Amino acid sequence: MAYHTRSNSFPSRPHPLFQEVDEHLCRLRSSEATSTSSSTICHKLNGLQDMHGCVDRMLQLPLTQQSLAQEKHENMVTELLDGSLSLLDVCSTAKDALSQTKACIQDLQSIIRRRRAEESGVLTTEVRKYLTSSKTIKKVLHKALENLKVTADRSTFSSLHRHQDAITIVSKLRDVKAVTVTVFESVLSFISGPKPKPSSWSLVSKIVQSKKVACEEEAKVNEFADVDAALKSLKSAENAQNQLNNLESCIQNLEEGLECLFRLLIKTRVSLLNILNQ
């Protein structure tokens, strides 16, 4: 009589947490094509929080830890740790950019509230400081965005020793990282706006492109772009104040989402370190 054996490490049916991660992945992927606005970005960050909370619970499962703790999978866990560090770096960069922008906003708001600020020229000076700071921050974010795309394209987890349990776990974690990178790209792009084009274009090309960009920006206005536009024209202090208030509220929501996500990413990293040190 023939007997069939199967691995006793994972049950034949996947654990509900694995299915829950798949559901989060599906929802986040379906939101990738939606319009980019502050509410959409915050919604995506909330979705990431839910997914990474689920991932951390998945990593706490004894069966998950037993599978990944095997010596032959040490390199794989190390690569997972490297990936978690890159996500933490990007999250930290975005948080720092928001913090710096908020500080500049608060300085501007303080100046605008003062009487005769426009007449004294103080407001003009502060506006220049804000726009200069904003330009620097955007350069940092564009660089982070480029690095993030390189990270996303990098091939990982080449050797799994054909261990089905490890393949199942790593496949989930790879998908989680890929979706997280995509959402971070949306966050960075939302804050930084489109990257400036090289200045070596011909005059005709510049004119054509400027019209195209203007149309695109009109269709995808966000609070950061609104403030830049209001300060560059500076038709009235009242209008600038309203836009600054909107942006400050937007930043507050983004900061809360990124801070919560940052803590969850740290928890995941700690879980992976614990597995590696078992």
- 34 torsion bin: left (phi>0), alpha (psi -120 to 50), beta (else): beta
Q: Are 25 and 241 in contact (CB under 8 A)?
A: no
> Tell me, what's the pLDDT at 208?
42
3-state helix, strand, coil in the chain (%, to 5): 80, 0, 20
Q: Is 147 exposed, middle or buried (0-12, 13-18, 19+ CB in 10 A)?
A: middle
Q: Is 14 helix (H, G, I), strand (E, B) or coil?
A: coil
Tell me what pLDDT residue 196 has.
63
Distance (Å, rounded) from C-alpha 191 to C-alpha 225?
A: 9
Share of the chain above pLDDT 70, in %: 76
pLDDT of residue 120: 58
pLDDT at 2 over 90: no
Q: What number of CA atoms fall less than 13 Å from residue 25's CA on the CB side?
A: 17
The two three-digit tokens of residue 266, written as one number = 């740290």
Instruction: Please report, for the chain, the start and end positions of each structural domain, with discontinuous segments joined by +.
Output: 16-276
Given a cut of 70, is residue 224 above it in pLDDT?
A: yes
> Does residue 73 or residue 184 have the better pLDDT?
184
Supply 215's token pair: 């149309």
- Mean per-residue pLDDT, 185-195: 89
Nearest CA among 251, 217, 225 for reference residue 104? 251
Q: Looking at per-residue confidence, does 111 or 190 come out higher? A: 190
**Distance (Å) of CA 188 to CA 25, 136, 143, 183, 241:** 20, 14, 10, 9, 24
Query: CA–CA separation, 152 vs 242, rounded Å?
Result: 38
Pair 242, 35: CB distance under 8 Å? no
Give the C-alpha separation, 250 to 271, whole Å.
32
* 3-class secondary structure, 34: coil
Contact 226, 246 (CB under 8 A): yes
Enumerate the H helices of 10-73 as residue ranges: 16-30, 38-60, 62-68
